Amino acid sequence: MKRVLVTGGCGFIGRHVAHELTEHGYEVRVLDALLEQVHGRVSVSIPAGTELIRADVRDRDAVAKAVSDVDAVIHLAAEVGVGQSMYEIARYVGTNDLGTATLLEALIKKPVERIVVASSMSIYGEGLYETPDGRRVDDARRKPGDIRNGQWNLLSAAGETLSPIATDEEKRPDLASIYALTKFMQERAVLIFGQTYGVSAVALRLFNVFGAGQALANPYTGVLANFAARLANGKRPMIFEDGQQKRDFVHVRDVARAFRLALEQRLAAGQAINIGSGGSYTISDVARLLAEAMGIAKLPPEILGKARSGDIRNCFADIGKARELLGFEPRHRLENSLAEFVAWVRNNVAVDRGTDMKRELEERGLVS
């Protein structure tokens, strides 16, 4: 039996990863700072027998203790959220970049068989596009002037509307937010470390993760949780731009399974791999589907017609590499999983802080 350290193991994804590992015979140790913004003031649930070290991932002594006798590491500890990263810059860089550096330095002295890091689809910036004649475009980016004028869709240099297509791992990174910058650093640092020290390393580029257990009081977390908190309080979900932006929503249980597979599959070593559903949904459709599942379809989304700094228009996953290297196949589609999510929301206190988030961004000039 192998012992695995899961940093950030009390978080939304981390708890599911810990359960997935214990169900498959692993011993699990968790390192987590248990921040109030993420966890609120309630106790968190981790599998029985899981060892918990409550500490910040930048705490050298705690991290050294955590890695002292483990065989593998799944590194999830990170500050999450594009919008907040644009003004809490030191906080995001400190936790994500310095925290990862602290972990890797500890692993120089106590090497492990494999480390798997949670990267993010945000490193792509805009996803892949193609021109009307079928040419691939992997460096598309919107101009600030176009956004201010309400031109949400991307145009080619010739002024043609570009069509979004599934994004594969060959798409060049384009870092549009501080959060994306820190996630790219985490990914590259782990892969460079693995190559340098002979440690098998894998980066999973996660798309929009959803499922029971998301922080309903943290407005900088997943869009589905934000919408649920609004709806549960009788308020319309707020959507930036025109609501037609597309994302890939992948269930947290599928993500947890992907992390286990990334520990186990030999061919994954040294690779960065997309983990998504392989499908796409407009944000407006997601809001409507959720409202219908909650029985309050009379609350349509509020389309703000404004953009947040750091947001991109479209990005959804090509998961061919995950299928090939991990044997990964999504089992839980968004449209078939909302009943379970809604049941969980109804049994928890959903604090709506979406208006506070919008105000904080506007006060800093991050909404246009």
Residue with tokens 């994004």: 167
Backbone angles phi, psi at 292, to 5 degrees: -65, -40
Q: Where are the domains of the chain?
A: 3-363
Which CATH fold would you assign to the domain 3-363? Answer: Rossmann fold (3.40.50)
Query: Rounded distance, CA 50 to CA 104, Å?
Result: 23
**What is the H or E stretch that residue 37 is in?**
helix 36-39
C-alpha angle 250/254/255, rounded to 5°? 75
For residue 20, give the DSSP letter. Answer: H
Q: For tokens 């090939």, what's the residue?
A: 324
Burial-class residue 278 by CB neighbours within 10 Å (0-12, 13-18, 19+). buried
Instruction: Look at residue 42 in the predicted model and tell me its pLDDT.
Output: 47
Give the integer Cα–Cα distance in Å for 259 and 107. 19
Sign of CA dihedral 96, 101, 107, 112: positive
Q: Which residue has the tokens 């589609």?
A: 333
Q: Could you count the other beta carbons within 10 Å of the beta carbon of residue 156?
A: 15
Please give the Cα distance from 29 to 9 (Å, whole number): 8
Per-residue pLDDT of the chain (368 residues; tens, 9 = 90+): 599 999 999 999 999 999 999 999 999 999 999 876 555 544 567 788 899 999 999 999 999 999 999 999 999 999 988 888 999 999 999 999 999 999 999 999 999 999 999 999 999 999 999 999 999 999 998 888 888 888 899 988 888 899 999 999 999 999 989 999 999 999 999 999 999 999 999 999 999 999 988 877 666 667 888 898 899 888 999 999 999 999 999 999 999 999 999 999 999 999 999 999 999 999 999 999 999 999 998 888 999 999 887 789 999 999 999 999 999 999 999 999 999 999 988 887 667 666 777 787 777 877 87
Q: What pLDDT score was predicted for residue 3?
A: 96
What is the spatial distance between Cα 358 and Cα 238, in angstroms, rounded to a whole number?
9
- Radius of gyration of the chain measured on its C-alpha atoms: 20
DSSP-derived secondary structure letter, 92: H
Q: Which of 92, 124, 129, 179 is catalytic?
A: 179
Amino acid at 328: F
Interatomic CA distance for residues 37 and 159, integer angstroms: 43
CA distance 39 to 284: 28
Taking the whole predicted model, whether its pTM rises above 0.75 is answered as yes
Judge whether 179 counts as a catalytic residue.
Answer: yes
DSSP assignment of 323-366 equals: HHHH-------HHHHHHHHHHHHHTS-----HHHHHHHHHHTT-
Structure tokens at 203: 């980066």
- From the CB of residue 320, how many other CB atoms can be counted at a distance below 10 Å? 14
H or E element: which one contains 283? helix 283-293
DSSP of 164-229: E--B-TTSPP---SHHHHHHHHHHHHHHHHHHHHT-EEEEEEE-EEESTT--TT-TTS-HHHHHHH
Our CA angle for 195, 201, 202, nearest 5°, is: 130
pLDDT digits 0-9 by tens, 182-218: 999 999 999 999 999 999 999 999 999 999 888 776 6
